[in-house]
């Protein structure tokens, strides 16, 4: 007689720290509420949930009735809770002490609100490194779920991936459940009756369990899924089909874990899910990897060979994107300072700010990662600077420091004034890579350059075919397979930058309109640089005084024109709350429009979201151009252009010896929204 298979059905709910309130409201309306209301009507359908701690706090504050519904479902034994890091960090990318505090913070929160303490944990983006085992074990976690791909990479045959295995690190053990890739690709995209039939076939094949744990957002937020899952009834049909089948029973990971023996010892390689392994690679390598995968699929050998086609690892994002690496290394620096602070000087708010600064989303980019989203990076910087400001009040840092904290081979010079910090990269460009104000908790240098991305090939191919429609077939298309456009994308939008997008980045225009970047600055003193140029020289130096950063240029024996580019991250981006203000008080346009001034000595960037302004002043009247800097990226909704910064270019003609002083003043604006 065929034994019923256990369906271990888990969903992971998460919104990035700092996401827009309207996005959370829409996610709740189209997914979280609908999912819980549907499952509430079927108490015999048992399932597991993981909510990231920040989202849990938001839902508790804004939708307490649905959280009460979830609590009632927990009390009646329908719901099993999974823990994780409270603010959804990639555990492998933060220090051991922070792994422990993050896991405990969420487990404590779940225990207070729902009366249970998790024994299982969700791993953010299923990023596995064996270093996380000891922190998970120390915090009472007994098992986690990771992709079956991880096990295939370790040489385990697919037919054994219907139960949990055991791993260890430094003598501490942890059990590992392999999430079924086939289930991930079927739920909820294939018709419900086909999914139920597939589960029954798994039972007939002798499988102990089918293990599913994936984003709840697939059930209502991904394109087309609200109509498919709720209006057309996929979820109800699926639940009713499972409950009606004598070959399927639902269960909790905890019960299965206690009633079954481990499959044995396993040591997994450092990896994530297979799509992530492609996203982590730089564009040329990603293209080569993608081509190899497609070649294997075409030959019919992919399923057999994919364990040996691993791509990159999650930490490669720090290698790919210097902006991500800078945030990460600054976060590690602040974490170490907090850890070194005497216990009596620490506060719960400080710990929370550190946890929020470790939220994973803004550190990476793929189909979902948020590095390209300025408001998510801003949330990291906001919490990081709030914490750093609090630490400075109890343990001040010196006004001047230098070191290579991002490990790129170039020294960074830190200028600190109390209310602000400026960081100059002492490389050939000698530009400002960070300008942070602690009162506003904002980094005006937080922008992103144009990058070549592997998926741009898909965009170019779609444009060439004049095709932007979604692929169709039985069921609905996964977000991984859609090609859609949210904005018109031109070829020039895809041109990668050859230099970082900092502040005070310079170009030289000599005779005959020939130009070149000034990227041969060498340090001559503290925050002082000199470049040989056009038969003469150009000196550049920086001073930070209070909330004013001053850049001083001295040209010696030069004839031509110097362009000075200043990229400024303003929270309003191209929204209605951001505007330029001229010296006479007039408002010519917003940050999203082109502004050209033939001669200007000052320009104010006023931002209602920031609650402050940035004022640029020059010692000479210069031609000024301000334009929005956009990047092109991919999300589950399609290809889109996103404004990253206001790019301000000053044109300075020089003839012989000359001097120019440019000041950037940060001004909080009382009463701003």
* Residue positions annotated with a catalytic role: 125, 215
Query: Cα separation of 64 and 80, whole Å?
Result: 19
Q: How far is CA 79 from the centre of its chain?
A: 29
Long-range contact list for 485-493, CB < 8 A, 24+ apart? 485/638, 485/639, 485/640, 486/635, 486/637, 486/638, 486/639, 486/640, 486/641, 487/639, 487/640, 487/641, 489/459, 489/463, 489/632, 489/639, 489/641, 493/630, 493/632, 493/641
251: Cβ contacts below 8 Å, ≥ 6 apart: 6, 7, 8, 46, 209
DSSP string, 216-259: GGGTTTSTTHHIIIIIS-HHHHHHHHHHH-TTEEEE-HHHHHHH
How far apart (Å, rounded) are the C-alpha atoms in residues 575 and 643? 10
CA distances from 78 to 40, 53, 70, 74, 192 (A): 9, 21, 9, 6, 21
Which pair of tokens denotes residue 134? 């000891």
Do 585 and 641 meet the contact criterion of CB atoms below 8 Å apart? no
Looking at residue 28, the DSSP 8-state letter turns out to be: I
Place of tokens 């055991």: 166
Q: Residue 620 CB: number of other CB atoms within 10 A? A: 14
Token pair belonging to 37 = 């209301």
Give which of 653, 643, 670 is closest to 618, Cα–Cα.
Answer: 653
Measured between alpha carbons, how far is 410 from 318 in angstroms, rounded to an integer?
Answer: 16
Nearest to 392 by CA among 328, 429, 337, 445: 337
Tokens matching residue 334: 């602040």
């Amino acid at each position: 007689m065929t034994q019923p298979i256990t369906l271990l059905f888990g969903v992971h709910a998460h919104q990035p720290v700092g996401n827009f309130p309207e996005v959370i409201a829409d996610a709740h309306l189209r997914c979280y509420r609908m999912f819980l209301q549907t499952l509430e009507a079927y108490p015999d359908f048992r399932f597991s949930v993981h909510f990231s701690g920040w989202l849990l706090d938001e839902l508790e504050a804004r939708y307490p009735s649905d959280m009460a519904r979830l609590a009632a479902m927990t009390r009646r034994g329908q719901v099993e809770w999974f823990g994780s890091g409270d603010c959804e960090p990639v555990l492998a990318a933060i220090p051991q002490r922070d792994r422990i505090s993050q896991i405990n913070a969420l487990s404590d929160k779940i225990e207070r609100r729902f009366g249970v303490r998790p024994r299982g944990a969700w791993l953010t983006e299923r990023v596995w490194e064996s270093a996380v085992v000891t922190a998970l074990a120390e915090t009472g976690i007994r098992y986690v779920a990771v992709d079956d791909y991880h096990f295939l990479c370790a040489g385990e045959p697919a037919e054994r991936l219907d139960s949990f295995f055991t791993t260890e690190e430094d003598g501490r053990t942890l059990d590992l459940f392999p999430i079924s890739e086939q289930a991930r690709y079927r739920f909820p995209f294939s018709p419900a009756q086909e999914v139920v039939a597939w589960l029954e076939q798994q039972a007939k094949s002798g499988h102990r369990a089918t293990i599913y744990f994936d984003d709840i957002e697939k059930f209502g937020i991904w394109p087309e899924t609200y109509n498919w899952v709720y209006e057309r009834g996929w979820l109800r049909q699926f639940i009713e089909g499972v409950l009606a089948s004598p070959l399927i029973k639902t269960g909790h990971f905890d019960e299965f874990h206690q009633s079954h023996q481990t499959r044995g010892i396993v040591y997994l390689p450092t990896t994530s899910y297979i799509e992530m392994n492609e996203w982590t690679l730089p564009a040329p390598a990603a293209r080569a990897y993608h081509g190899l995968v497609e070649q294997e699929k075409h030959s019919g050998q992919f399923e057999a060979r994919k364990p040996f086609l691993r791509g990159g690892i999650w930490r490669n994002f720090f290698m790919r994107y210097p902006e991500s690496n800078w945030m990460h290394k600054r976060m590690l620096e602040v974490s170490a300072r907090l850890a070194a602070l005497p216990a009596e000087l620490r506060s719960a708010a400080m710990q929370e700010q550190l946890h929020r600064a470790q939220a994973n989303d803004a550190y990476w980019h793929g189909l979902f990662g948020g590095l390209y989203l300025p408001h998510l990076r801003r949330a990291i910087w906001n919490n990081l600077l709030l914490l750093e400001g609090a630490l400075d009040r109890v343990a001040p840092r010196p006004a001047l420091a230098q070191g290579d904290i991002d490990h790129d081979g170039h020294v960074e010079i830190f200028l600190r004034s109390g209310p602000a910090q400026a960081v100059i990269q002492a490389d050939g460009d000698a530009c400002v890579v960070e300008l942070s104000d602690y009162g506003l908790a904002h980094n005006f240098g937080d922008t992103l350059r144009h990058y070549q991305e592997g998926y741009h090939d898909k965009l170019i191919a779609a444009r060439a075919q004049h095709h932007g429609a979604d692929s169709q077939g039985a069921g609905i298309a996964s977000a991984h397979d859609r090609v859609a456009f949210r904005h018109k994308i031109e070829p020039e939008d895809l041109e990668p930058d050859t230099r970082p997008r900092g502040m005070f980045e310079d170009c030289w225009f000599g005779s005959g309109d020939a130009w070149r970047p000034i990227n041969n600055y060498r340090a001559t003193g503290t925050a002082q640089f000199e470049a040989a140029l056009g038969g003469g020289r150009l000196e550049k130096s920086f001073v930070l005084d209070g909330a004013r950063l001053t850049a001083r240029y001295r040209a010696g024996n030069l004839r031509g024109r110097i362009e000075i580019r200043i990229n400024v991250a303003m929270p309003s981006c191209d929204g209605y709350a951001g505007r330029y203000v001229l010296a006479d008080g007039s408002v010519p346009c917003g940050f999203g429009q082109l502004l050209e001034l033939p001669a200007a000595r000052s320009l104010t960037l006023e931002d209602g979201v920031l609650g402050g302004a940035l004022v640029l002043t020059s010692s000479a009247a210069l031609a000024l151009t301000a334009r929005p800097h956009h990047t092109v990226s991919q999300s589950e909704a399609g290809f889109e252009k996103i404004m990253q910064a206001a790019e301000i270019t000053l044109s300075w003609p020089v003839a012989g010896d000359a001097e120019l002083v440019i000041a950037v003043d940060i001004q909080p604006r009382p009463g701003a929204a």
